[in-house]
Amino acid sequence: MSLKMKEKKKIIRNNEKPIQRLRFTVQILFAALCIWIGVEFYLFVRYLETGGTVFYFNRPPGVDGFLPISSLMSFYYFISTGVIHSAHPAGMFIFLAIVLMSLVVGKSFCSWMCPIGFLSELVGDFGEKLFKRKIILPKFLDYPLRSLKYLLLGFFLYSIFYIMTTAAIKAFLDSPYNLVADVKMYYFFADISQLSLIVISVLFLLSIVVRNFWCRYLCPYGALLGIASLISPVKIKRNTASCIDCNLCAKACPSNIKVDKVKTVLSDECTSCLNCIDACPVSDTLHLHTFISKKKKISKKTAAIAIVLIFMAVTGVGMLTGNWQNNLTKEEYLLHYNYMGSYGHPTGAEGFRKLNEQTMKDEKDHKINSNKN
């Protein structure tokens, strides 16, 4: 009976142009920008390594975007004090841009800009060609593994927003470790330890077998963006009246969401890649929908423009308000570089607690000394 009814449905072909080429272009441009930042940063570190004897290259502020914990702390410090910390100001604006993108257009950063997401996608495509199918982990493995990224996110949020006081956050942001965290990160990869290399290689191999292994199971940044995306007013809607249940949307979804079974895609795993909408063969059946505009339906192109514009606008505010470059001079960098090996950071909740205690003790000592004077 239901099959007969489906056969009767008048099918109007979906002639809308796919958006994937544009998405790929944005991914390539963003990856090129990251590589450019990497080259500039390498030249900056060379200057430090040679004790300032070679040509000085400005440190590219965009490297702050690769310091998500420091950026999260800067954000916390900003909302607690109204002050933008000067150690890695660009990091906080990049963080805000990425979160705002998720609040407006879903977890779009992951599939439109993130270089790791882009690499994961390429590796996943290779894996599917290699195995001639998409390997999906069974639910009893997939669900617990997906919770790992939330546990990691929970740990960071608990440590920063609950355990640490504003004074301790400031102490961390002011610390020499945080000031040169970017240089330390450079050496993490340039002088990679055997263990780190093994871990990265294993993740790489797992991403060939299971698409987006890192993003789906382990990335705490993705977990945060997934939560933010749930309140985004832009959602993918399926018109059940015109849908022919062909299942092409679900097959095209890299996040294994059963788009063909729901009216509205409400998933923390949806990355707004729009593959499902591109794959739908019936006109006006799968579309982006928003309840805040009278028109309700929004085009794929509008979403793409919004994604890019939000990123450019928020980072642009950072640049135009003078909160982009940090205020460390090259002489200060050269000085820090010599002692960098001895700089450590608090580890685990206990480490953050100790930092709190130390900060309180320092404040108390400072007050006593001021009163004496």
Round to whole Å and give the CA distance between 163 and 156.
10
* Shortest Cβ 56–ligand SF4 spacing (Å): 44
Question: 3-state DSSP call for residue 302?
Answer: helix
Return the number of the residue (180 or 225) whose C-beta is nearest ligand SF4. 225
The count of residues in the chain is 373
Q: Give me the long-range contacts of 150-154 (CB less than 8 A, separation at least 24).
A: 150/220, 150/223, 152/218, 152/220, 152/223, 153/220, 153/223, 153/224
**Where do the DSSP E strands lie in 252-358?**
286-290, 297-298
* Shortest Cβ 88–ligand SF4 spacing (Å): 31
Name residues contacting ligand SF4, limited to 212-251 (CB under 6 A). 236, 238, 243-249
Return the number of the residue (25 or 247) whose C-beta is nearest ligand SF4. 247
* Shortest Cβ 226–ligand SF4 spacing (Å): 11
Q: Is 22 in the site for ligand SF4 (CB under 6 A)?
A: no
Classify residue 198 by burial, with Cβ atoms within 10 Å: 0-12, 13-18, 19+. exposed
* Shortest Cβ 343–ligand SF4 spacing (Å): 40
Residue where the block lists tokens 């060379």: 46
* Distances in whole angstroms, Cα of residue 116 to Cα of each of 100, 213, 214, 318: 19, 11, 9, 24
Tokens of residue 224, six digits:
């945060």
* Shortest Cβ 153–ligand SF4 spacing (Å): 20
* Shortest Cβ 240–ligand SF4 spacing (Å): 8
- Binding pattern to ligand SF4, positions 69-108, x when CB under 6 A? ----------------------------------------
Return the number of the residue (64 or 260) whose C-beta is nearest ligand SF4. 260
* Shortest Cβ 278–ligand SF4 spacing (Å): 8
* Shortest Cβ 275–ligand SF4 spacing (Å): 4
Return the number of the residue (70 or 207) whose C-beta is nearest ligand SF4. 207
Helix 220-230 × helix 139-157 angle, to 10°: 90
Return the number of the residue (63 or 249) whose C-beta is nearest ligand SF4. 249
CA Rg value for the chain? 24
- Binding pattern to ligand SF4, positions 256-295, x when CB under 6 A? -x-xx----x----xxxxxxx--xx-x--xx---------
In order, the DSSP letters of 148-171 are HHHHHHHHHHIIIIII--HHHHHH
- Under 8 Å between Cβ of 368 and 179: no
- Under 8 Å between Cβ of 111 and 117: yes
Return the number of the residue (62 or 106) whose C-beta is nearest ligand SF4. 106
Return the number of the residue (63 or 253) whose C-beta is nearest ligand SF4. 253
Return the number of the residue (59 or 238) whose C-beta is nearest ligand SF4. 238
Count of residues that interact with ligand SF4, criterion CB under 6 A = 29
Q: Which residues contribute to the site for ligand SF4 (CB under 6 A)?
A: 236, 238, 243-249, 252-255, 257, 259-260, 265, 270-276, 279-280, 282, 285-286
